[in-house]
């Protein structure tokens, strides 16, 4: 179940990744990280996102899987030369794994904490930006530029 919660937190990591991956920019870029941190640490926003993800997970748990599994089963049979096994038309993730029904409650519980952790990481990255800028400048002068390119 822990992997499911981590997977549910992935959209937030993807939200933060472009900010973290930006080229080291002028000092005002740290403001974007501060704004991101404030958004991620806002309890109202955390609860809204957690509730939305919980509802989405409920829907996903009850989606019929036969339209996905049946063609895959036929393709596997074509490859192996064996006849495809029949697929239960009522198969859902919830029926396959009844313990998955706990996922929405886990999301509601853990996503706000994950967002708070990401807010703290964003704060740390904002604090680190000046040192990274200094290091980048030092590397520009220290590394040889054999092709005349700026690194």
Q: Are 44 and 72 in contact (CB under 8 A)?
A: no
Q: Judging by beta carbons within 10 Å of its beta carbon (0-12, 13-18, 19+), is residue 104 exposed, middle or buried?
A: buried
**Residues 137, 134: Cα–Cα separation, whole Å:** 5
- Assess whether pLDDT exceeds 60 at residue 121: yes
pLDDT of residue 116: 93
What pTM does this model have?
0.60
pLDDT of residue 18: 45
Tens digit of each residue's pLDDT (9 = 90 or more) over 45-97: 999 999 999 999 999 999 999 999 999 999 998 999 999 888 999 999 999 99
**Residues 83, 113: Cα–Cα separation, whole Å:** 48
**Residues 5, 29: Cα–Cα separation, whole Å:** 31
Tell me which residue has tokens 């030369």: 81
Least confident of 2-6, 100-104, 107-111, 145-149: 2-6
pLDDT of residue 149: 56
Residue 32 banded pLDDT, cuts 50, 70, 90: confident
**Residues 42, 30: Cα–Cα separation, whole Å:** 18
- Assess whether pLDDT exceeds 50 at residue 132: yes
What ranges in 22-102 are assigned the alpha helix state H?
29-41, 43-61, 66-80, 93-96
């Amino acid at each position: 179940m822990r992997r499911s919660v981590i997977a549910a937190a992935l959209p937030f990591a993807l939200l933060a990744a472009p900010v973290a991956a930006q080229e080291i920019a002028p000092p005002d870029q740290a403001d974007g990280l501060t704004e991101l941190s404030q958004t991620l640490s806002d309890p109202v926003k955390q609860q809204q996102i957690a509730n939305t993800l919980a509802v989405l997970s409920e829907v996903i748990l009850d989606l019929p899987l036969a339209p996905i599994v049946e063609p895959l089963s036929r393709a596997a049979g074509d490859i192996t030369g064996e006849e495809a096994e029949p697929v239960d038309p009522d198969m859902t993730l919830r029926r396959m794994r009844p313990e998955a029904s706990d996922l929405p409650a886990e999301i509601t519980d853990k996503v706000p904490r994950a967002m708070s952790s990401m807010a703290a990481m964003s704060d740390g990255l904002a604090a680190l930006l000046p040192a990274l800028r200094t290091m980048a400048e030092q590397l520009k002068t220290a590394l040889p530029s054999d092709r005349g390119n700026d690194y």
